[in-house]
Amino acid sequence: MEAKVVPQKFIVPIGPQHPALKEPGHFEFTVEGEVITGATVRLGYVHRGIEKSTEDRNWVQNLYLLERICGICSHIHATAYVLGVEALAEVTAPPRAQAIRTLVCELERIHSHMLWLGVAAHEGGFDTLFMYSWRDRETVMDLLEGLSGNRVNYSVNVLGGVKIDVDEKQAASIRKGIDFLKERTTYYMKVVTTDETFLGRTRDVGTMSYDQADALAAVGPTARASGIPRDVRSDAPYAAYPQFPINVITAKGGDLAARFVVRINELFESYRLIHEILDKLPVGELTTRVPRRIPENEVISRVEAPRGELFYYLKSNGSEKPERIKVRTPSICNWATVMNFAVGLKLADMPMILAGIDPCFSCSDRTVVINRTNQSQVWSWEDLRQYGIKYYR
């Protein structure tokens, strides 16, 4: 890549190594004084070739690989995958397994949203909120560890069911932890909606209207903060969501403050749902049998990750290994909302706007050929190989 020297343009580079970024990505902001006049993004620093590697592993092994796409929403990736594979194999996991999957999904959502709350506060220079929310996040991490034995990659799912069961003792500790978190979350809600200096950084910053969010195909809390009631959990319920329906949380504002409000209200919704699942946990088997060879077919599996809609395309060829697995993560859908709204903002707002969509860089880095000309482009494997050799020479 040759560096282009354009005079009279003051470009602030952020990344790939920068204190604001916890994962590598590269952004270039053209500024005039403090005001941004242009923004570009370059991703791909943590491309790991996971989609290609899935074709060399069998259906069971892929579960563990795909769970490691994201370090924060690991369970939801595994859930999307097992739901897809179960649809291909035409089996259904028992109700108790589905309920436990949903339970872990919601616990994971809590841990993800609390992590985000801290990161977003830190980007705005509010380190006290950062420290407090991460301290309280430990509660839900401990609950997940007590349930599955792991803090991050819980490995709860297996094809056709779940690996873990929830007994009364665990249910009691979850209820206790959730009640504690509920009390703390009420406090955070008060802070982000009443603290004047904090509101000064979030109110009317990066406001995205309903139409704009719709046009840019925003997903998850980012879209819901602009008033779009888009949530796979209620649009196309999966796992145990048909039995335990959720209320879709939306906000009107569309600015950063609304994204805080939406995510914190979603925390309350998750607390309610967890109590409900624990109260009405169906009894029965935890697993059902799934054949080694999956019949030839293709399927789309959609779930609601903490960041938005997660989309899996699975194609089987009748063997033990998948023919193709395509993952579309919510982060990649939301990048357009950042880059389109950067122009005109202050440089100081950018870290919070970037954090506002809760980006996950390693989720974003799939193979994408950006169509710079108007001709469509299809790259063969040999083309890609040659491109790789040339690029890294």
Partner 1 sequence: MNLTIPPLIALLFFPGGIFLLGSGLLYEYVDRKLVAQFQNRIGPRWFQPLADILKLLAKEEVTPEGVNPQLFVALPVVALAAALTAALYVPMFGFQATFTFRGDLVVTLYLLSMMTLCIGLAGANSIDRFSIIGATRTLTQLFSYEAPFLLALLGPAIVASTWQIGDINQYAMTHTWLIVTQPIGFIVAVIGLMGKLELPPFDAPEAETEIVSGALTEYSGRGLALFRIGKDVELVIGLTLVVAFYLGGLGNPWVFLLKTLVLLLITAGLQSLFARLRIDQTVGMWWRIGALVALVQLLAVIIGLFIGRIF
Q: Which residues of this chain interact with partner 1, rule CB under 8 A?
A: 10-13, 18-20, 31, 33-34, 121-129, 131-132, 135, 195, 197-198, 200-201, 346-351
Q: What burial class does residue 231 get, using C-beta atoms within 10 Å of its C-beta: 0-12 exposed, 13-18 middle, 19+ buried?
A: buried
Give whichever of 232 and 357 is closer to partner 1, judged by the CB atom: 357
Q: How open is the CA angle 66-67-72, to the nearest 5 degrees? A: 130
Give whichever of 35 and 217 is closer to partner 1, judged by the CB atom: 35
Give whichever of 36 and 89 is closer to partner 1, judged by the CB atom: 36
Note whether 62 and 312 are within 8 A (CB): no
Smallest distance from partner 1 to CB 111, Å? 19
Smallest distance from partner 1 to CB 35, Å? 10
Smallest distance from partner 1 to CB 331, Å? 19
Residue type, 87: A
Smallest distance from partner 1 to CB 45, Å? 18
Show the tokens assigned to 178: 């959730």
Smallest distance from partner 1 to CB 4, Å? 15
Answer positive or negative: Cα dihedral of 173, 151, 154, 132. positive
Give whichever of 12 and 300 is closer to partner 1, judged by the CB atom: 12
Smallest distance from partner 1 to CB 354, Å? 9
Give whichever of 281 and 347 is closer to partner 1, judged by the CB atom: 347
Give whichever of 215 and 348 is closer to partner 1, judged by the CB atom: 348
Smallest distance from partner 1 to CB 387, Å? 31
Starting at the earlier edge strand, list the strands of the sheet with 322-328.
297-305, 308-316, 322-328
Give whichever of 128 and 319 is closer to partner 1, judged by the CB atom: 128
